[in-house]
Structure formats: C-alpha cells, structure tokens
C-alpha cells in the first residue's frame, strides 16, 4: 500500500484539496442529513469519514502478453446506492456497470477523454448508463432504480441477468478525436461481466476475462435496509501472440478463483489479487490511483442542456411563465431557471461553453436531462 498512499498524497497536493475546483468544486456530500464534506476532483477530500475513495490498479504479466486492470469499487457503489436510493437489484447492476466504467478508464489517455458504457436491456431495470473520465471519476444511473426481483432460485443470488435481460451493450469512447469510437454487441447473459467479455471478443477482437461483483449486506447501524459491503472487479486481456498454453492456464486459474468480493472481504487488496492470479508470470504493477463517484454537473452545463431544446420550445417555456427545473440524472441535483433567466437566454441565443473544461459526452447527457 506504500505506493498508493504516496500517489494519493501527490494527487491531493496537486489538487490543493479541491481548491482547483473546476465544475465539481461546489458539491457537498450529505448522507442522511449529515454533511460529510466537499467533493474534490478525483474523489472525496482527504479525511472524509467515509474514507470513500476506491482504488484502480493496472498491471502487466507474462512479459507484457497479459494486461490487467483491477479495482475495488466499494465506496463508489455505496455512494451510487445512496444517491439513487437503489433497490438491491439495481444496486448490484448499477454497481457492476460503474465498476466496469472505472476499469474501462484505463483505456483512455488524455484529460478530455471519456468512456460511456450503456447497458440497453429489456428487463425491469431499463437502461443503465455509466461514464468515466481518464482518472476514473465515474458516475451513472439506472432508469428504474427501484426495480426489484426475487433472489434467483438456483443459487440464492441477486438476479441481475433477469433485471437486465436481453438487449445490447454499447461502449462509446471519446478519445478527443473528431469522432467518438462506438462499439456495440449483444447482451449474451445480462450479468454484465459476461456481456463485456463477449463485447471485447466480438467488437474489439481481444480475448478477455471480466469479473464484476457487488456484495450487499445489512447496515451495521441499522438505519438503511442494506448497504454495499464489498465491490470490485477486473478485466484481464491477452495481447496478440499470447500462446494457447497461457490462455488455458489463466482460464483455469480464474475459474478456480473465489469471487472478487469474497477475496476483498477476506482482506485482500487489489494488488494482492493481481499477484495471486499471476503468480509465476512476473506481474508488474504499472499504475495505481484512487477514484470515486464524482458528478461534474454544473449550472452552466444544465443551462446549455436547457438551451439545446431549441429556440421555439424555449420561447414556449418562457411564455408559460413558470420557469424550468432540470434534474441531473447522475446525482439528482436540481437546477431551477426562472422565467427571467430564460428570457435572458432567449435574448442571447448562443450559449458559451461554460468552463472550458471540455465535455465530450455533453451531448449524451443533454438528451437525458431533457427527457426527465
């Protein structure tokens, strides 16, 4: 953990404890009426009693023939549960998707890059959307956060597959190029990890093994019906030239492994898990950093979303005289715009980009915000 602590301190120092702010500077985390503190870019401020930051590790093994990204995402998934008030089923599904988005962030390079994972299933949960930036600042939502199903009869587990059902999965990678990269594949199981494994094979032709897990349990304080006890996952990918023997051996090891949440609950760190899986294959940790659930919404961004309805509709809202409220899908924060403010927007029809930060996925969010 030494390197991690060091990295964390560097990160904090760079960010001046959040004073660089950006669009996240004004967010305060309040849980059950108790104020926990400001959100800093990249995660919660140091000293936060939730100790909410999670860890993401990338490594290589077998002389670079295997790449692995692994994460503990417990705090991220618990925060998502609190923000969205999710059922057990939705907590598990959204938590898995958020963990996947964090893992996918390792494929990004530039500060303005982002990745958006969409699970479009026909099941009761509806659409799941999760977004991450290059530093795994993740956020997400599920269309029907209260959807619930009985535990699966065969193994007594939360039936994420039945909650998601059949449909398709889409990954949109904005790599700060002219056009985003969009990959699509069918949902083959609805369990999300298997669907991602299939996606990598079908859409990106990369043999992969994906594990995602969210374990829920009783709230020790007895205030909530349940909470996220442990969450995490990994993506293991084989590079071109990996021999069949390596593939076979890894498959055997992974299938014989307890679930990620079981390993984490037993006290293993993400690094421990990587060293265990790749024992004998000289695993080398390349990067490790903290991450968390951070929504980058702001009044300026919401105003841009409102302006995007077009002049005709905006005039209608203005004439209606009741103002307009927009709710952020990712953090449920509400933004109210008065008739006067809308009038000012109409008088100045070209909205400026709010903070110059760059928001490659803004177009996706805008359409979501309006639909709610």
Instruction: List residues binding Zn ion (CB under 5 A).
Output: 295, 297, 328, 330-331, 333
Q: Identify the CA nearest to 238 among candidates 21, 60, 39.
A: 60
CA distance 52 to 74: 8
CA distance 292 to 61: 26
User: 3-state DSSP call for residue 299?
Assistant: helix
Our CB check for Zn ion shows the closer of 61 and 131 to be: 131
Task: Please state the φ and ψ torsions of residue 339, each to the nearest 5 degrees.
Answer: -60, -40
Which residue in this structure is represented by tokens 């449909």?
A: 167
Smallest gap, in angstroms, from Cβ of residue 105 to Zn ion? 18
Smallest gap, in angstroms, from Cβ of residue 79 to Zn ion? 12
Our CB check for Zn ion shows the closer of 161 and 294 to be: 294
Our CB check for Zn ion shows the closer of 86 and 107 to be: 86
**DSSP H or E segment with residue 40:** strand 34-40
Our CB check for Zn ion shows the closer of 127 and 275 to be: 127
CB 259, CB 210: distance < 8 Å: no
Our CB check for Zn ion shows the closer of 164 and 304 to be: 304
Smallest gap, in angstroms, from Cβ of residue 331 to Zn ion? 3
Smallest gap, in angstroms, from Cβ of residue 297 to Zn ion? 3
Strand order in the sheet with 114-121: 181-186, 167-174, 114-121, 128-133, 137-142, 284-293, 54-61, 66-72, 227-238, 208-217
Our CB check for Zn ion shows the closer of 215 and 301 to be: 301
Smallest gap, in angstroms, from Cβ of residue 353 to Zn ion? 18
- What separation in angstroms does the CA of 152 have from each of 141, 157, 160, 200? 23, 5, 9, 27
Smallest gap, in angstroms, from Cβ of residue 302 to Zn ion? 9
Antiparallel, parallel or unpaired: β 54-61 and 66-72:
antiparallel
Angle between helices 339-347 and 299-307 (to 10 degrees): 70
Strand order in the sheet with 43-44: 28-31, 34-40, 43-44
Our CB check for Zn ion shows the closer of 89 and 305 to be: 305
CB 210, CB 194: distance < 8 Å: yes
Our CB check for Zn ion shows the closer of 23 and 107 to be: 23
Smallest gap, in angstroms, from Cβ of residue 43 to Zn ion? 16
Smallest gap, in angstroms, from Cβ of residue 26 to Zn ion? 11
């Amino acid at each position: 953990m030494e390197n991690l602590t060091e990295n964390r301190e560097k990160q904090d120092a760079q960010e001046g404890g959040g004073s660089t702010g950006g669009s996240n500077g004004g967010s305060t985390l309040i849980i059950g009426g108790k104020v926990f503190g400001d959100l800093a870019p990249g995660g919660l401020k140091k000293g936060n009693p939730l100790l909410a930051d999670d860890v993401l590790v990338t490594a290589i093994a077998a002389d670079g023939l295997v790449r692995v990204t692994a994460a503990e995402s417990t705090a991220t998934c618990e925060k998502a549960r609190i923000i969205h008030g999710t059922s057990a089923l939705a907590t598990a599904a959204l938590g898995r998707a958020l963990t996947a988005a964090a893992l996918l962030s390792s494929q990004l390079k530039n500060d303005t890059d982002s990745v958006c994972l969409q699970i479009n299933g026909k099941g009761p949960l509806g659409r799941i959307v999760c977004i991450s930036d290059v530093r795994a600042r993740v956020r997400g939502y599920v269309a029907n956060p209260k959807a619930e199903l009985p535990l699966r009869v065969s193994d007594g587990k939360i039936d994420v597959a039945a909650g998601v059902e059949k449909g398709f999965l889409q990954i949109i990678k904005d790599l700060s190029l002219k056009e985003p990269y969009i990959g699509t594949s069918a949902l083959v199981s609805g369990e999300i990890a298997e669907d991602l494994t299939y996606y990598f094979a079908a859409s990106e032709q990369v043999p992969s093994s994906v594990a995602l897990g969210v374990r829920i349990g009783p709230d020790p304080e007895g205030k909530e019906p349940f909470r996220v006890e442990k969450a995490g996952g990994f993506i293991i990918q084989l590079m071109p030239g990996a021999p069949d023997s390596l593939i076979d051996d890894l498959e055997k090891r992974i299938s014989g492994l307890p679930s990620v949440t079981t390993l984490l609950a037993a006290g293993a760190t993400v690094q421990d898990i990587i060293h265990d899986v790749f024992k004998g294959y000289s695993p080398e940790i390349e990067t490790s950093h903290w991450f968390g659930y951070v929504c980058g919404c702001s009044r300026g961004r919401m105003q841009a979303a409102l302006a995007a309805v077009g002049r005709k509709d905006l005039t209608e809202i203005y004439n209606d005289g009741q103002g307009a409220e927009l709710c952020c899908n990712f953090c449920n924060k509400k933004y109210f715009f008065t008739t006067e403010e809308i009038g000012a927007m109409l008088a100045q029809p070209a909205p400026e980009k709010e903070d110059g930060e760059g928001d490659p996925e803004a177009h996706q969010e805008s359409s979501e915000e309006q639909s709610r």
